[in-house]
Structure 1
Amino acid sequence: MATATQAPAAAEGHIDPAAAFVPVQTRSERPTSFDPADFGTPTGREVNWKHTPISLAQPLLQNEAGPHGIISVEVTAPEGVEQLRLGPDQAPRGEVFRPEDLASAIAWTQETDAPLIRIPAGVELAEPVIVRLTGSGGLAHAHVVIEAQPASRATVVLRHEGTAHQAQNVEIIVRDGAALTVISVQRWDDDAVHLASHQARVDRDASLTHIVVTLGGRLVRVNPSVELAGAGADGKLYGLSFADAGQHFESQVYLHHKGPHTVGDVLYKGALQGADARSVWIGDVLIGPDAVGTDSYEANRNLVLTDGARADSIPNLEIQTGDIQGAGHASATGRFDDEQLFYLQARGIAETEARRLVVLGFLSEIVQKTGIPALEEELIAAIEAELAAGVQA
Structure 2
Amino acid sequence: MASLTQAPATTPSGVTVAGSTAHSDGSHNDGAHTDGGFVPVQTRSERPRSYDPADFGAPTGREVNFTHTPVARLAPLFADAGADDDAAADAVGMALSGGQDVFQGTLAIGQSPRGDVFTPEDVIAAAAWTHTPSALHVRIPESVELTAPVEIDVTAPAAVAHSHIVIEAAPNSRGTVLLRHRGDALLAQNVEIIVRDGAHLTVVTVQEWADGAVHAASHQARVDRDAHLRHIVVSLGGAVVRLNPSIELAGAGSDAEIYGLSFADAGQHLESQVYLHHKGAQTRGNVLYKSALQGAGARTVWVGDVLIGPDATGTDSYEANRNLVLTEGARADSIPNLEIETGDIRGAGHASATGRFDDEQLFYLQARGIPEEEARRLVVRGFLAEIVQKLGIPSLEEELSAAIEAELTPAAAA
TM-score bracket, normalised by the shorter chain, equals: over 0.9
Correspondence for 1:41 among 48, 54, 58: 58
Give the aligned partner of residue 91 of structure 2. 70
1:331 is the counterpart of 2:330: no
| Contact kept in structure 2, 1:314 and 1:331, CA below 8 Å | yes
Q: Residue type matched to 2:63 in 1? A: E
1:95-149 residue CA offsets vs partner (Å, 9 max, x unmatched)? 0000000000000000000010001110000000000012342211001000001
Instruction: Please state how far the C-alpha of 1:41 moved relative to its aligned partner.
Output: 1.0
Q: Secondary structure at the match of 1:130?
A: strand
Q: Residue type matched to 1:6 in 2? A: T
Q: Residue type matched to 2:301 in 1? A: V
Q: Residue type matched to 1:351 in 2? A: E
Q: Residue type matched to 1:62 in 2? A: A
Q: Secondary structure at the match of 1:370?
A: coil
Instruction: Please state how far the C-alpha of 1:5 moved relative to its aligned partner.
Output: 4.1
Give the aligned partner of residue 352 of structure 1. 373
1 CA distance for matches of 2:143 and 2:275?
A: 29
1 CA distance for matches of 2:346 and 2:34?
A: 42
2 CA distance for matches of 1:254 and 1:70?
A: 30
Q: Residue type matched to 1:46 in 2? A: E
Give the aligned partner of residue 274 of structure 1. 295
Matches within 5 A, 1:239-250: 239-250=260-271
Give the aligned partner of residue 232 of structure 1. 253
Give the aligned partner of residue 12 of structure 1. none
Q: Secondary structure at the match of 1:369?
A: coil
Q: Residue type matched to 1:117 in 2? A: V
2 CA distance for matches of 1:18 and 1:4?
A: 24
Instruction: Please state how far the C-alpha of 1:206 moved relative to its aligned partner.
Output: 0.2
1:290 is the counterpart of 2:307: no
* % same residue: 67
1:102 is the counterpart of 2:101: no
Instruction: Please state how far the C-alpha of 1:352 moved relative to its aligned partner.
Output: 1.1
Instruction: Please state how far the C-alpha of 1:23 moved relative to its aligned partner.
Output: 2.5
Instruction: Please state how far the C-alpha of 1:18 moved relative to its aligned partner.
Output: 6.2
Structure 1: segments with no counterpart, 5+ residues: 9-14
1:127 is the counterpart of 2:144: no
Give the aligned partner of residue 68 of structure 2. 51
2 CA distance for matches of 1:392 and 1:277?
A: 18
Instruction: Please state how far the C-alpha of 1:391 moved relative to its aligned partner.
Output: 2.8
Give the aligned partner of residue 11 of structure 1. none
Matches within 5 A, 1:1-393: 2-7=1-6, 19=36, 21-64=38-81, 65=83, 67-68=87-88, 69-393=90-414
TM-score (norm 1): 0.96
RMSD: 1.5
Instruction: Please state how far the C-alpha of 1:79 moved relative to its aligned partner.
Output: 1.6
Instruction: Please state how far the C-alpha of 1:77 moved relative to its aligned partner.
Output: 2.8
| Contact kept in structure 2, 1:259 and 1:291, CA below 8 Å | yes
Structure 2: segments with no counterpart, 5+ residues: 8-31
